[in-house]
Amino acid sequence: MARNKLAGTKVGKSKSAKYYQDNPDAKKKKDEYNAKYGATLSRKLYRSFLNAMNKKKGKKGDGKDVSHTKKGDTVLEPQGKNRARNRGKK
């Protein structure tokens, strides 16, 4: 798969994105925190759970993600629908 040549070249428009663009030290500190948080046992177990569910419920390359319902169940749904839910609407 080809790499996205535009990755990292666009600047965000949200308030937090602008803050981190203006404060590189704060961005560095946040990145360090996120790296530590992602490396914790609970986050690793959570990722492995989702990977196992995706492997169990779907086929590789089927364009589906495992998503959580409000009841806490896991369901397969299209990647675009799952990932679009948490970004701003136009």
Q: What is the pLDDT of residues 44-71, one digit of tens each?
A: 998 898 888 888 876 776 778 888 778 8
Q: Which two tokens stand for residue 29?
A: 């500190």
Whether the predicted model's global pTM rises above the 0.85 cut: no
Asked if residue 66 lies in contact with residue 54, where contact means CB atoms within 8 angstroms, the answer is yes
Query: Which has more confidence, 84 or 22?
Result: 22
